[in-house]
Amino acid sequence: MAEPLGIIAGGGELPLRLAVAAAAAGRAPFIVGLEGFARPEALAQWPHVMHRLGAAGAIIASLRAAGVRELVLLGQVRRPSMLSLRPDSVGMAILARIGRAAFAGDDGLLAAVVRVLGEEGFVVRGAHELLAEALAPPGQLGRVAPDAAAAADIARGVAVARALGAVDVGQGCVVQQGLVLAVETIEGTDAMLERAGPLRREGVGGVLVKLVKPGQDRRVDLPALGVGTVAAAAGAGLRGIAYSAGGALIADRAATIAAADAAGLFLIGLDENFQTEGER
């Protein structure tokens, strides 16, 4: 019998979809739901426990008791302050091993977490390795296509998102008519879109660009979008969403495309060789 797959789950649908895919592949999923992010009722059909984010000792003990060796970190988690984290004794020791990365950007911190989990005997896998159908494809999805004005905003957004990613700040931004209305920081995409809405200018709407950070470890924190992202983008008055093809996850592709079509938004996957005006 195949060994179980551990899933450390934040919010959203993707951890549940991964559990279904693991079970279909003959691997029993064991889920550690993170309190305040994962919904216990959504995990009820699977073997699971709930732990707070700072309870590293309890999380590791639960994974070992379930016989987990391979695990995936997946789902929406808002990074807490050090004060609210309240690490247990194992968590304190892990923070000491992580060192300065605890105060770095999300990518630096998660890379350190992956390293420490490896030292604890776990193998961290990427969600895209096990949930290939969620990996966002290249090109246009749905009926709506970006026009020349939207294409120019996408190019501007790519340049900004790459610059943000290079310094490990965020994965996305909102651009309208060449103006950067908002950039993603610690608050996450939905909060950024909520902030961008009141800043929109008259005329054609802007675009959301979400990209994998340069050099990012793709086992953790890939950009994710879904029906909720489409609704938030539409609420902010945007015209569409551009994302990293092969480097972003779509929770439910069919439903996300249908939502975008209904809202009149485009969805387009950009390959890694996409060039901005300054790079041509």
Instruction: Give the pair of three-digit tokens for residue 184.
Output: 């993603």
Residue 275 has pLDDT above 90, yes or no: no
Nearest to 14 by CA among 185, 196, 220, 238: 220
The residues that bridge with 30 in the sheet, in sequence order, are 6
User: How far is CA 133 from each of CA 42, 128, 231, rounded to the nearest angstrom?
Assistant: 21, 8, 22
The residues that bridge with 51 in the sheet, in sequence order, are 34
3-class SS at 215?
coil
pLDDT tens-place string over residues 116-133 = 999 999 999 999 888 888
Q: What is the bridge-based pairing of β-strands 266-270 and 139-141? A: antiparallel
Q: Alpha-carbon distance 140 to 144, whole Å?
A: 8
pLDDT tens-place string over residues 23-75 = 998 999 999 999 999 999 999 999 999 999 899 999 999 999 999 999 999 99
Predicted confidence at residue 98, as pLDDT, reads 85
Q: Alpha-carbon distance 201 to 198, whole Å?
A: 9
pLDDT tens-place string over residues 232-262 = 999 999 999 999 999 899 989 999 999 999 9
Residue 198 has pLDDT above 60, yes or no: yes
Comparison of pLDDT for 80 and 270, the residue scoring more: 270
Residues, the chain, total?
Answer: 280
pLDDT tens-place string over residues 71-101 = 999 998 888 777 778 888 988 888 888 877 7
Q: Alpha-carbon distance 250 to 59, whole Å?
A: 27
Q: Alpha-carbon distance 111 to 98, whole Å?
A: 9
Rounded mean pLDDT, 102-111: 76
Q: Is the CB of residue 209 less than 8 Å from the CB of residue 172?
A: yes
Domain 5-130 has CATH 3.40.50.1390: no
Query: Do the first three CATH levels of 5-130 and 135-279 match, i.e. the same topology?
Result: no
Residue 220 has pLDDT above 60, yes or no: yes
Domain ranges of the chain: 5-130, 135-279
Q: Is the CB of residue 208 less than 8 Å from the CB of residue 233?
A: yes
Q: Give the CATH number of domain 135-279.
A: 3.40.140.80
